[in-house]
Amino acid sequence: MQAHKTVSREEWISTRRALLEKEKAHLRAHDELARQRRELPWVKVEKAYAFEGPDGREMLADLFAGRSQLIVKHFMFGPDWEEGCVGCSFGADQLDGSLVHLVNHDVMLVAVSRAPYAKIAPFHRRMGWRFKWVSSAGSDFNFDYNVSFSKAQEAGGKVFYNFEERDFVSDELPGYSVFTRDETGQIFHTYSVFARGTEDTGTVYGFLDMTPKGRNEPPGGNLSHWVRHHDKYGEMPQNSCCQG
């Protein structure tokens, strides 16, 4: 490794302050993007998607588990695969600690894969994750949200992913989709993010910044308004793979 530049403490402070200004500008730009994300139009979900999981057959509305917002992790685990994608697993390791704060702040997070639940359950148990994970096998869900691709698409060599036509690389690709449910029970798709866009997820604020209500804090970002020590919440996530 090449020798790095070495300076006095005073020069380091001056250089660090200059970089801090750029970091603050980056954060302000991030906040503005989150604001614009919340203003995106919504699409009403018309299909009756069904899933299979630890609680048996469930519809999309059931996955909200009483919350008004739902984040779906499109976990790459195809019907013929023997285990989940290592990249998706890397992301899952990071999100598990966020789960207790999300479920107590009006956000449910559920993983969805095309693999049959009989394959998902043992891998879920092996990994020890606490988020709920269900199978969309037999439904159009993964195809409609552009994270799974058919044999015909593979043969054609092109797929629609990350909002553009691109070369086929795999029958499964990663992403997150966000949904909200209103007082009448209607469900709307509000946001999706794919590819490297998923790298900003994994933290509580990263997830909340994708949702329609955002961080949902008082002015000034006072997280003590809603955050608790994780053992003081009313609901604790359970390792649902061990149920049923």
Q: Is there a single domain that holds both residue 29 and residue 49?
A: no
pLDDT digits (tens, 9 = 90+) for 9-65: 999 999 999 999 999 999 999 999 999 999 999 999 999 999 999 999 999 999 999
CA end-to-end distance (rounded Å), the chain: 54
Question: Which CATH number goes with the domain that contains 129?
Answer: 3.40.30.10
Does residue 1 lie within any of the structural domains? no
> Any idea what DSSP says for residue 13?
H
Residues 122 and 29 placed together within one structural domain of the fold: no
Q: What tokens does 140 get?
A: 């159009």
pLDDT digits (tens, 9 = 90+) for 155-211: 999 999 999 999 999 999 999 999 999 999 999 999 999 999 998 888 999 999 999
Q: Give pLDDT tens digits for 102-124.
A: 999 999 999 999 999 999 999 99
What is the Cβ-side half-sphere exposure of residue 183, based on CA atoms within 13 angstroms? 0
Length of the chain: 244
Q: Are residues 230 and 131 in the same domain?
A: yes
